Amino acid sequence: MSELSLVVVGSLNVDLTVPVTRLPAPGETVAGPGAHRAPGGKGANQAVAAARLGARVRLVGRVGDDDFGREVLAAVAAEGVDVSGVTTGGAATGMALVVVEEGGENMITVARGANGLLDAAGLDLSGADALLLQLEIPLEVCLAAAVRAKAAGIPVILNAAPFRPGLEDLLRHVDLLIVNESEAVALGGDTDPAALLALGPGTVVITLGERGAVATDGHELVRVPSFGVEVVDAVGAGDTFCAQLAISYTYRRPLREALTRACAAGALATTGPGAQSAMPTARQVERLMADAS
């Protein structure tokens, strides 16, 4: 297959992660042994994951004119991602505060920072085979990018996370929608992917955590189980799933195969600490699928 060109419009953050024996209850303090700083943000994560999985990726986003911004940009560029569409300044680089318990479950709080100042001015989709969006940037930027992509005949893939209201216009321009169970309920009141087709997307995928994923394109309903791996840290697994699914969808792989590949990639991303550092290559995904068959 020829190399796929993917444009990702999304957030760039610095992740500050603290491992704990258990997640804190409201109002409770739980101590951890230390903290780890690493590049993150759903846009940057999905861009890095897609690059590792074999796509040619251009990232559009915004960072602060600060050391964190330069650190994140350098890390993403080192993965082969084109960061020429990332602008700088106006606010501090976004930050995510991540608490991860033994077993991989996590809690995340995000400070948007410069991500909230991203605009669609100068957005370049030339040569793109697909557009991948998430919701850690202004909604109007997502809508403008989606409208422009649809007018150019470029498939629009939306990971509607973190959920926010007011997505009706955007969803009418989406070809592939990816949500988790809570996001599905917030959007359509149901975890049946067919219920979300009425909102506009041509294909809907709902991730089910350790139970795998379910999808429909209006013609078939596909359920795929998760892959059995030893989970270390689930941060970044969803972003890896989205990146692999975006690639498979754009290559027009059958829905079941696309979903299986995405589940395999997402599972592999849980086997190491951190988000981008644990993301797999295409060869590792192929190996896990072969071992499981």
Q: So which residues are the catalytic ones? A: 239
Nearest in space to 193 (alpha carbons), one of 176, 168, 210: 176
Q: Where are the alpha helices (DSSP H) in the chain?
A: 42-52, 67-78, 139-151, 168-171, 181-188, 193-197, 237-250, 255-268, 282-292
C-alpha distances (whole Å) from 214 to each of 166, 177, 192, 224, 225 are 24, 12, 8, 6, 9
Looking only at the bridges linking them, the beta strands covering 213-216 and 203-207 are: antiparallel
Give the Cα separation of 261 and 54 in Å (integer): 13
List, in sequence order, every residue forming a beta bridge with 180; answer none if it has no partner.
207
Nearest in space to 7 (alpha carbons), one of 44, 72, 59, 66: 59
